[in-house]
Amino acid sequence: MAPARPRVTDDQRRARLAVRHHLAPSARAATVEEVAASLTALHGTDPATVHLAAGARLTAEAAPHGPVPAMERALYEDRTLVRMHGMRHTVFVVPTALAPVVQSSTTHAVAARERASFLKQVTAGSDLTVDWLAEVEDATLAALERLGEATATELAGEEPRLRERFTYGPGTPYAQQQAVSSRLLRVLGTEGRVVRGRPLGGWTSSRFRWAVAPPLPDLPPAEARATLTRHWLATHGPATEADLTWWTGWRVTDARKALAAVSAQEVTLDDTTTAYVLPDDADAPDAPAHAPDAPGAPAAAGPWAALLPALDPTAMGWRERDWYLDPDHRPALFDRSGNIGPTVWWNGRIVGGWAQRPDGEPVWRLLTDPGAEARAAVEAEAARLHTWLHGTRVTPRFRTPLERELSA
């Protein structure tokens, strides 16, 4: 008779969150690099998410003036973190050492689709040709080499053909005229040939400068998928096959091969679903996982509250979310495309949402009553957030019903 599969309860999964995602005060991280590694990747589609997600997880000593200076240093000076297209065609901030893994496992396939779509659209119904676009592309990269960093507008000053316009999404409800520059830079970014630099304006701005990217090692795709799966299971396990395919955007067959390549161990969840962890990781809910660069933290987490931003990587880490989110609360906390807004957490469960008033003060609402201790802890976290925001007003890129209501 085959031995029974280990069981990992929902309570144990929530205990892992407290420690591995640096959410409990006793488990907070010392650096922004440690935060990124503990989550495999930080969502970067909304620039503010990166900073807010780090701020929720750093010690006061690590970020005495908030997380922004440390995050900007890591992204734009030390280059220990890099912003790039990755899983599900989404922008992420990842540890620089993991960038070639993400590129080879995931982004190369995205880039091929992006280039094919761009070539088809830019040449349809216009005088623009593939050869013309190749010339513009070469001139754009040469201009970036000369300038070091530049915005799309600055590049168009060097290469005026970037201002040419084409129809994006012809024949669809979202058809619109776009400049060649915006789409070309996106394609070059997914191919790993250019990289986003420091934004114009403050840390909430999405108007980035661009620079020529240093070359990345080209890894065998299957090897890269196995490496990414190992990192992701270390930070998100136990997780189901559906969770992995959703988070990465891979085909089911690729996800299954990657799980087999890392010798992922099957476990049973509370709802009887089969999930996976790294070998020998089923019985250590509060301990660091056994994987390269896996995050470490004290085992005794204690009660904890957190105010996490829209698109936070913990809230968006799994497709199946019932173990930390009441399904009845989804309509208030998600937009119509499945993007989660700012959330309030207590001991591993989402219990409400938050926003900012026009004067910048955080305001929150509980969707369930977790008790007086929880309310006091949430109040303390809101005060901590208010202090380091220094009056900066953050409006999520993807707005949700509760966030809109609270911020009005």
Per-residue pLDDT of the chain (408 residues; tens, 9 = 90+): 456 789 999 999 999 999 999 999 999 999 999 999 999 999 999 999 999 999 999 999 988 888 999 999 999 999 999 999 999 989 999 999 999 999 999 999 999 999 998 998 888 867 889 999 999 999 999 999 999 999 999 999 999 999 998 877 777 777 778 889 989 999 999 999 999 999 988 899 989 999 999 999 999 999 999 999 999 999 999 999 999 999 999 999 999 999 999 999 999 999 999 999 999 898 755 544 444 444 333 345 789 999 999 999 999 999 999 999 999 999 999 999 999 999 999 999 999 999 999 999 999 999 999 999 999 999 999 999 999 999 899 999 999 999 999 998
Examine residue 304 and state whether it is found in any structural domain, yes or no.
no
pLDDT of residue 296: 37
Is the pTM here over 0.75, yes or no?
A: yes
* CA distances (Å), origin 113, targets 92, 183, 213, 225, 369: 19, 13, 20, 19, 47
Angstrom distances, CA of residue 143 to CA of 130, 152, 155: 20, 11, 7
pLDDT the model gives residue 128: 84
Q: Which letter, b or e, does each residue of 384-394 get, where b requires 16 or more Cβ atoms within 10 Å of its Cβ?
A: bbeebbeeeeb
pLDDT given at position 228:
98
Both tokens assigned to 258: 């990657």
Tokens of 162: 């970037």
Is residue 358 included in any domain, yes or no?
A: no
Q: Which two tokens stand for residue 26?
A: 């006793």
In a domain, 162, yes or no: yes
pLDDT score at 244: 98
Count of C-beta atoms within a 10 Å radius of residue 88: 14
Strand order in the sheet with 42-43: 42-43, 91-95, 81-85
Please report the pLDDT score of residue 62 as a whole number. Answer: 87
Q: Answer yes or no: are the C-beta atoms of 21 and 308 closer than 8 Å.
A: no
State the pLDDT at residue 3: 65
Which one, of 314, 311, 366, lies nearest residue 342 by Cα? 311
Per-residue pLDDT, 74: 97
- From residue 238, alpha-carbon distances to 2, 14, 89, 219, 334 in Å are 21, 11, 24, 26, 24
pLDDT of residue 203: 94
Q: Is residue 363 part of a domain?
A: no
Both tokens assigned to 214:
């240093």
Report how far residue 321's alpha carbon sits from residue 315's, in angstroms, rounded to the nearest whole number.
8
Is residue 38 assigned to a domain?
A: no
DSSP-assigned letters across all residues of 306-355: EEEPTT-TTTTS-S--TTTS-GGGHHHHB-TTS-B--EEEETTEEEEEEE
CB atoms closer than 10 angstroms to residue 189: 22
User: How many domains, in total, are found in the chain?
Assistant: 1
Residue 289: predicted pLDDT? 43
Asked whether residue 139 is assigned to any structural domain, the reply reads yes
Q: Which residues pair with 84 in a beta bridge?
A: 92
Domain extent for 188: 96-212
Return d(Cα 314, Cα 318) in angstroms, integer.
Answer: 8
| Number of other CB atoms surrounding residue 408 within 10 Å | 8
In the structure encoding, which two tokens stand for residue 393, read together?
Answer: 């007003």
Residue 330 lies inside a defined structural domain of this protein: no
Residue 298 lies in a domain: no
